Amino acid sequence: MHKVEPLKQRTLVVGSGLIAGQLIQKLRQHNELGLVPVGLIDDEIHETPVQDIDHLGSLGDLEDVLDLHAIDRVILAFSRASHQQLLECVRICRDRGVAVDVVPRLFELMDGMRSLAYVGGMPLLSASAPTLSRPAQLAKRALDVIAAGVGLALIAPAVLTIAVAIKLESPGPVLFRQTRAGKGGRRFQLLKFRSMYRDAEQRKSEYANQNDLADGVMFKIRTDPRITRVGHFLRKYSLDELPQLWNVLKGQMSLVGPRPLILVETDALETWALRRLELRPGLTGPWQIYGRSENTFQEMVRFDYQYVAGWSLARDLEILLATVPAVLSGRGAY
């Protein structure tokens, strides 16, 4: 993928509806991929979450669309076209030297799929039943205790500096405590550095109509007037979450895990999504590296389900390593 303007790829989406719309949104949010969505084509146009994307025609117009719009890449995303029509789309793209990507069906389960097997020449993705064995649990907990203990010792000077900055800007406690749902649904007090003015909760109803998230569950305002200047800085680089290392050390949280939900969000979960409660909530997790506040509640729940369904210690280490650049970039944090 390319960031340099001349090397960016003009991208056409084959398909419409929710998944195609989400794909277009993600391509726009992740400029580092270098994929610029030009439009979409489909025989039956279904409503997408994106309104400002051009419908360039039907599948039969693919050849003309590729030429007319100088398309470099085509992504097949849940069109209701027939199997034969989609194969023809791939053939046309290959004949013209256009790269092709496919969003697979059942993509929500991809994290749990680890191997490719062949049956009579037919490829099969295998999803083994995940098991969180006792040794794996002990290894995960050992990593939590060691890393949290060392981390708390190392950040002691920063904690003092942040505490003084919070106190100097606005009256109120240094730490913010909030009840969250932990492993097995057990409640615990999550700790954060206070990033808002002391009366933020009382003023929340004043700004209800400014909520940037239309999922009816989460509440986020990009330019929230309740956030202090120090709080803006802390949130941008996730420094407000450093006290959660204490939650990790106490066994209430893990370094990596599902997002720690407030009780209202937990109550809004569908039955299948409650599987997220099998693991301790995490200081970081898939939501942290895939966009943070730019993700909707439904996307966050799906990320967490994929994580729990395909859990492995190696996956935890991957997320920890990916968290560093995600936090330093400040992308999606507000």
pLDDT digits (tens, 9 = 90+) for 12-21: 999 888 888 8
Number of Cβ atoms within 10 Å of the Cβ of 196: 21
pLDDT in tens, 296-326: 777 788 888 878 877 888 889 999 998 888 7
Q: Is the pLDDT of residue 282 over 90?
A: yes
Tell me which DSSP letter residue 129 carries.
P
Number of Cβ atoms within 10 Å of the Cβ of 173: 12
For residue 183, what pLDDT is reported? 92
Q: Is the pLDDT of residue 91 over 70?
A: yes
CA atoms within 13 Å, Cβ hemisphere of 324: 4
Domain 5-103 carries which CATH code? Answer: 3.40.50.720
Q: Band of the pLDDT at 134, cuts 50, 70, 90?
A: confident
Cα-only R_g, the chain: 23
Which tokens belong to 80? 């209701």
For residues 324 and 151, the answer to whether their CB atoms sit within 8 Å is no
For residues 244 and 190, the answer to whether their CB atoms sit within 8 Å is yes
Tell me which DSSP letter residue 128 carries.
P
More confident residue, 4 or 316: 316
In this prediction, residues 198-226 reach a mean pLDDT of: 70
User: SS3 for 51?
Assistant: coil
For residue 10, what pLDDT is reported? 94
For residues 13 and 36, the answer to whether their CB atoms sit within 8 Å is no
In this prediction, residues 10-38 reach a mean pLDDT of: 88
Which tokens belong to 65? 């669309």
Q: Band of the pLDDT at 68, cuts 50, 70, 90?
A: very high
Q: Is the pLDDT of residue 219 over 80?
A: no
pLDDT mean across residues, the chain: 83
Tell me which DSSP letter residue 219 carries.
-
Gap between the Cα atoms of 195 and 292, Å rounded:
17
| φ and ψ at residue 192, rounded to 5 degrees | -145, 155
For residues 303 and 295, the answer to whether their CB atoms sit within 8 Å is yes
pLDDT in tens, 142-191: 999 999 999 999 999 999 999 999 999 999 999 999 999 999 899 999 99
For residue 125, what pLDDT is reported? 64
Q: Is the pLDDT of residue 114 over 60?
A: no
User: SS3 for 84?
Assistant: helix
pLDDT in tens, 270-280: 787 788 888 89
Gap between the Cα atoms of 15 and 130, Å rounded:
32
Which tokens belong to 286? 């898939």
- Looking at the chain, the whole-number percentage of residues with pLDDT higher than 70 is 81
For residue 306, what pLDDT is reported? 79
Ranges of CATH 3.40.50.720 domains, the chain: 5-103
Gap between the Cα atoms of 227 and 230, Å rounded:
8
Q: Is 156 exposed, middle or buried (0-12, 13-18, 19+ CB in 10 A)?
A: exposed
For residue 75, what pLDDT is reported? 93
For residue 82, what pLDDT is reported? 85
More confident residue, 62 or 307: 62
